[in-house]
Amino acid sequence: MARRGGRRDQRLTMAAAPVLAVRDLSVALSRNGRSSRVLEAVSFAVAPHEIVALVGASGSGKSTLGLAIQGLLPRDARPEISGSICVAEAELVGAAEPALRQIRRSLVRVVPQDPLSGLDPTMTIGRQMAGKAREREAIAWLRRTGIADPERVARSYPHRLSGGQRQRVLIAMAMLARPRLLIADEPTTALDVLTQAQVLETLRGLTRAEGSALLFITHDLAVATSLADRVVVLEAGQVVEIGPVGAMLAAPQAAATRRLLAARYDLGSDRNRPLPAEGASVAWPAARRDASKVLELVGVSKTLGRRQVVHQVDLSIEAGESVAVVGESGAGKSTLLRIAAGLTKPDAGTVTRLGETRPQIVFQDPVAALTPWLSVGEQVADRLRGLGLNTAERRRRLGEAFAMVGLPESLMAALPGELSVGQCQRAVLARAIVVPPRLLLCDEPASAIDMPLAAAMLNLIGALRRRLGMALLFVTHDIAAARLIGDRIAVMQDGAVIEAGEAEALIARPATAHTRALVAAIPRFETAR
């Protein structure tokens, strides 16, 4: 742990009694009949008006710590807890369930990652927030979170709202209770950068104005450092570093912090070389390109329900070329990708594909993309059917695919549930390239994983498309990722491509106000606060 961070923590505690004080917290959970230590001697505090970001790679213990602070560790895991968790001097460890419910009701509120999981689809927003008795106060809080038409939103059901609006509703719902502690658990993971920036500003403003303490749990170090006063870094269930943002960025003390910082990418990253991240050791040669088009969309449109989600889009991709499609949530990116794959039929326009094999897709959620009861090896090998290969040839091709994506052959017999999220993503990629397609389609493959995994996935996709000569259509809401992966970028808004061009030129000289806003919203790693 950085000494500098420890001194900062002590000063805050001395200046004002902490809203949240975690001391020597250890948690063991039972899984498959085995008890394992998930958190080990965790200590930190959060003061009034303060924002502390809890950061760590996948599996570091962030989610378990967040649940422990809420008194919501899963009972079926038979949690064993020692140490102390105090919220406004109320002790959670060892408290009976009625006392825990009272603490959650009066002192702690949570903004979850998935806004739909925190909203009842059968009730209007206003009714969920306060009922008729406090409707005026609920509308006032909706307005404070930046919702332009709070009266309409209060009368609406959750499915009628955008992802950003639903997230703001949850913030308003949480703050309506005037909690001493607000826990935001990955609240911007599924949001585009513009909506993310707005949600972060809302959280910052309300925390400062109301005097609440904010614990912001995230895997995204860029978001953490753009928002927080201090950062707590977890690795393998232990706090390895804690301190002010500026000091940590300038002189990280822990190896885990240095790894997180090394894997970061933004608009200043070198797009001509792989990012410094762990992953498969695939060479990164120059892409093989020619003028033949593997995909051409002309005047493509698609209406879903009453809304035209894709509007007269022209887009072509040459052999070996990489094109990134960027836009906000609801811009039409994923629908366009499904049209390109042949999974969705357009209402108008033409789609022309070149190649003997169908385009292959890597979806955002790799776990859902795998059949849970079939081994990973079986699912990758399924694409080799019908090629006339003998057993030895099938085994060789399967081994080559696993090696190219950085998976050990020992995982061929594993079920998807035995793999990490990153390993599942690599397995999906292995299935896509075991028979190399002319065109690989990627739908937000790096948006829901931590930065080291995201950097490794971008490296891997970039390396494989060069090695195998594939063209790539890469859909993302992250324009920094689009710049790294794409030769060209197409920007979508309200179903239309409003701007397209060579990646570096488009970033340096955006022609539309919307693209300029996307570029400006990318979180920067600040070195002084």
- Residue keyed to tokens 């240095």: 258
296/203 Cα distance (integer angstroms): 43
Helix (H) or strand (E) holding 167: helix 163-176
477/25 Cα distance (integer angstroms): 37
Give the β-pairing of 213-218 and 181-185.
parallel
**Shared fold status for 17-107+183-264 and 266-359+437-529:** yes
Residue 483 has pLDDT above 70, yes or no: yes
Residue 278's pLDDT band (cuts 50, 70, 90) = low
Give the side-chain half-sphere CA count within 13 A for 377. Answer: 15
Q: What is the pLDDT of residue 351?
A: 93
- Residue keyed to tokens 């420890």: 6
Q: Which fold has domain 266-359+437-529?
A: Rossmann fold (3.40.50)
Q: What is the pLDDT of residue 24?
A: 95
Residue count of the chain: 529
Q: Higher model confidence: residue 282 or residue 322? A: 322
Residue 113 has pLDDT above 80, yes or no: no
Q: What is the pLDDT of residue 283?
A: 52
Q: What is the pLDDT of residue 241?
A: 93
| Residue range 32-61, pLDDT digits in tens | 677 888 899 999 999 999 999 999 877 788
Among the residue ranges 43-52, 150-159, 302-311, 356-365, the one predicted with the least confidence is 356-365
Among the residue ranges 165-169, 391-395, 471-475, 490-494, the one predicted with the least confidence is 165-169
Q: What is the pLDDT of residue 3?
A: 32
Residue 4 has pLDDT above 70, yes or no: no
- By three-state DSSP, how is residue 252 classified? coil
CATH superfamily of 17-107+183-264: P-loop containing nucleotide triphosphate hydrolases (3.40.50.300)
Contact between 458 and 481 under an 8 Å Cβ cutoff? The reply is yes
The count of other CB atoms within 10 Å of the CB of residue 467 is: 17
Instruction: Output DSSP code: residue 29.
Output: E
Residue 284 has pLDDT above 60, yes or no: no
Q: Higher model confidence: residue 337 or residue 521? A: 337
Q: Which two tokens stand for residue 174?
A: 């949480």
Q: What is the pLDDT of residue 433?
A: 92
Sign, CA torsion 467/470/476/480: positive
Residue 100 has pLDDT above 80, yes or no: yes
Share of the chain above pLDDT 70, in %: 91
Read off the pLDDT of each residue in 154-162 and give the average, rounded to a whole number.
Answer: 84
The full set of domain ranges for the chain reads 17-107+183-264, 117-178, 266-359+437-529, 372-435
Q: What is the pLDDT of residue 190?
A: 67
Read off the pLDDT of each residue in 2-24 and give the average, rounded to a whole number.
Answer: 59
423/413 Cα distance (integer angstroms): 13
Q: What is the pLDDT of residue 471?
A: 93
Read off the pLDDT of each residue in 368-391 and give the average, rounded to a whole number.
Answer: 90
- By three-state DSSP, how is residue 407 classified? coil
Instruction: Output DSSP code: residue 309.
Output: E
Q: What is the pLDDT of residue 132?
A: 55
Share of the chain above pLDDT 90, in %: 35
Residue 527's pLDDT band (cuts 50, 70, 90) = very low
- By three-state DSSP, how is residue 306 classified? coil
Q: What is the pLDDT of residue 311?
A: 94
Residue 1's pLDDT band (cuts 50, 70, 90) = very low
Residue 83 has pLDDT above 80, yes or no: yes
